[in-house]
Amino acid sequence: MDVTVVVPVFDTMPYLTATLDSLVAQSIGASRMHVVAVDDGSTDGSGEELDRYAAAHPGLLTVVHQANSGGPAGPCNVGLELAQGRYVFFLGSDDYLGEEALERMVDRADAWGSDVLCGRMVGVNDRYVSQRLYREDAEDVPFPGELLPYALSNTKLFRRALLEEHSIRYALDLRVGSDQPFTVEALHHAARVSVLADYTCYYAVRRADARNISYTSTWRARLEDIGAVMDHIAELLPAGEERDGVLVRHFDSELIKLVERDHAVLPESDRAPLRAGLRALMDRYFTDRIYARLGPLTRLRYCAVRADDPQAIDDLTTVDADELPLVLDGEHVSFHLPDHVDDSLPPDVLQLPLTHARRMVFRVSSDARVTWAEDRLHLEVPTRLDPRSTPYVRAALIAATGLEGRPALRRDRRAASDKPSRRVDIAADGTLTWSGDVVAELGDRDHALWELRLQLDVGEHTYALPVYAEPIEPQQVRRGGIGRRRHYDVEVLVDSESRVLVSCEKR
């Protein structure tokens, strides 16, 4: 038997029918799979639906009926005890699988020697599922790394021998989130964690009745539940880099929502206990490593929580990180806060972590306006850059040979300095302007086609961002002294992705 699918079930009709249909239709076939469905005291007909499918598909489904245990942990443990497959997969009873999901995951795990394999998961009915982990197939993904801490659900393929060797089971004292410590322990012990991204394996459904537990709990319950999950993870992983690499997820994703969303609408009788509860978790787990991996606004919010400053928290609720100007100083990318927010803080609070900075650098500009004036090419482009960034930004013409389809480049700063480039001007509103004599720069060079890019110096690298614009009319430029005039045809082109290319040819 290749794989056992464990399905904990409690009152999920009519969604359960689609779940079971997706299992019956699996391309892996009944001879290679087994389903253990544990009815946890359902009262809506889910138990009867399970029995109907088991009767219609003998040998495929094993159905267990039990009194309600209060959560999915107990049923998952029951399913594990009855599992027969080399692999175990956990499926929510209101979700469903792609038809080839199990076959593809098992075959890929066998080929790669994976102990845990994460198949692409998407949301249905506005259910949010981050896609960062699923950008491409990956045979060996480091744990914790930058991605896995944000994908701790149990909706993965686990090698059953790994679970048995380390006696990995679900914590029965957690009301919600019991899959997180389970998954963390498996990832911690796994010799290889892999990602299957080229096929959608799992469809996570947000129910129309909004009864998914993550959408129904109060702030107090969520704070207590998140804290309990963090405590369990802390028991599994000793204090240090690995634990911090996992717990950063809870500060960066789950707890911060209590600050951003709940605090603003709660009465002060609730706001003060919320801040106190957050500070208690910060005292236990908020390390310098976690602080360094958070974005500036998140850092500021936790600074305000630590200082028990509700006004500062409220001020930050009006700040949109996607609209804040960015300041380059050659080494870092930082946010520039609006005047109404107290910015008398250590500079490092506003600096973006390296992973955030890379993403933000490639979102600094929008469509440009390119024009000719007096034989010079003029560029005007709205950006999010603060004028203080000017010394670290240039416009550059880079040989376009083979550039089609290539993403924005990152080069060692020294290697980027030999390209024809010019400093730009950045106005107070972020508008970047540049004017270049294209013939003077390119007329005697070997390449006939060049791409216009913005170069930004950050740390040891120079990032080269494409410039996007509408095409403009060709321009003929004449250069040289009397009797030695040369003609150059200069044309601004736009490729299939709207990137600006410059052609300069002698006549």
Q: In this structure, what DSSP letter does residue 125 have?
A: S
Q: How far apart are CA 268 and CA 257, in angstroms?
A: 17
Strand 3-9 with 87-90, pairing: parallel
Neighbours of 23 (CB within 10 A): 23
The verdict on whether 179 is a catalytic residue reads yes
Q: Which of 11, 40, 179, 457 is catalytic?
A: 179
Cβ–Cβ < 8 Å for 85, 94: no
What amino acid is encoded at 372 in this protein? W
Q: How far apart are CA 124 and CA 25, in angstroms?
A: 19
Cis before 14 (ω within 30): yes
At residue 9, φ and ψ (nearest 5 deg) are -130, 130
Nearest partner of 309 among 355, 263, 354, judged by Cα: 263
Instruction: Tell me, letter by letter, the H, E, C secondary structure of 428-449.
Output: CCCEEEEEECHHHHHCCCCCCE
User: Which 3 state secondary structure label does DSSP give 343?
Assistant: coil
Q: How many helices (H) and strands (E) does the chain have?
A: 17, 22
Q: How far apart are CA 263 and CA 213, in angstroms?
A: 20
* Helix ranges restricted to H, 60-202: 73-82, 101-112, 160-165, 179-189
Burial class (CB in 10 A: 0-12, 13-18, 19+), 352: buried
Q: How far apart are CA 258 and CA 1, in angstroms?
A: 44
Angle between helix 219-236 and 241-249 (nearest 10): 160
| E strand or H helix at 394 | strand 393-399
Q: Which residues are catalytic?
A: 179
